Amino acid sequence: MPPVFPSADDSARLLRLARPGLALADASRLAREVRTGFDEAQLVLLLDAADPATRSVALLVLGFSGSPGRESSVAAGLRDADGGVRGSAEHALWAMWLRGNGGPGHDAFRAGLDASAADRPDEAADRFEEAAAADPSFAEAHHQLALLRADGGRLAEAASAFAAAADSNPLHFAALAGAGHVAVRSGDLEAARRFYRRTLGIHPHAEGVAEAVAGISETLRRRARTHAN
């Protein structure tokens, strides 16, 4: 009978390989050393390990080096019972998204990230627009553009870009939350609540979102009572 994978020994081996990269907070080293002992399919299986530390490491390595097809497996970690694992899942998704997709808009996207980090928002927006035009399915290009448009008060453009990001990647909880924030600023609380509820459907513990839904719901109830009177 073949051995069961993952076993406690597999978890221990994973954590040994991960220790140097984790100690140095070096994502490249973490992924490189873990991948000497585990392939991508094995890392996905390790997401079901009993040990939370094992699940966290597997998530991080998939985030730093996994293929885009593993995104749904990583996103499932947002529902984990362990808060540390949920944090690793969120971090891993951001790592996947910000790595880019290697497609026709990739170089423009990387240039946009560099410009944004250097506090050149207009240049960054131009590059993200270029990336999204080159590859309309590039969700993170749309999302980064949406963030800049929202920061600049261009709410209609931000809403459109957030919607494009969410349409391109239905797992992009941040794009849905961003669309909710823009809807609040635009005064459309019903739409904001819908976007926030969709966010919670992917990431039930997204910071502040459940509280926002509760607050909006109470505001809408008060308005309904006022109109009824």
The answer on 122 and 212 residing in a single domain is yes
pLDDT of residue 51: 96
pLDDT of residue 228: 79
The answer on 134 and 35 residing in a single domain is no
* Helices vs strands, H then E, count in the chain: 13, 0
pLDDT of residue 3: 65
Task: Write out pLDDT tens, residues 55-74.
Answer: 999 999 999 999 999 999 99
Task: Write out pLDDT tens, residues 69-123.
Answer: 999 999 999 999 999 999 999 999 999 999 987 889 999 999 999 999 999 999 9
Q: Specify if 2 maps to a domain.
A: no
The answer on 66 and 41 residing in a single domain is yes
| 70 DSSP assignment | G
Portion of the chain with pLDDT greater than 90, in percent: 93
CA torsion through residues 168, 143, 129, 66, sign: negative
**CB of 10 closer than 8 Å to CB of 41:** no
Among the three residues 99, 133, 164, which one is the final residue of a domain in this structure? 99
Q: Which range marks the domain in which residue 135 is found?
A: 106-228
The domain total for the chain is: 2
- When pLDDT is averaged across residues 7-34 and rounded to a whole number, the result is 96
Cis bond upstream, residue 204 (ω within 30): no
Residue 179's CATH number = 1.25.40.10
Among the three residues 99, 119, 153, which one is the final residue of a domain in this structure? 99
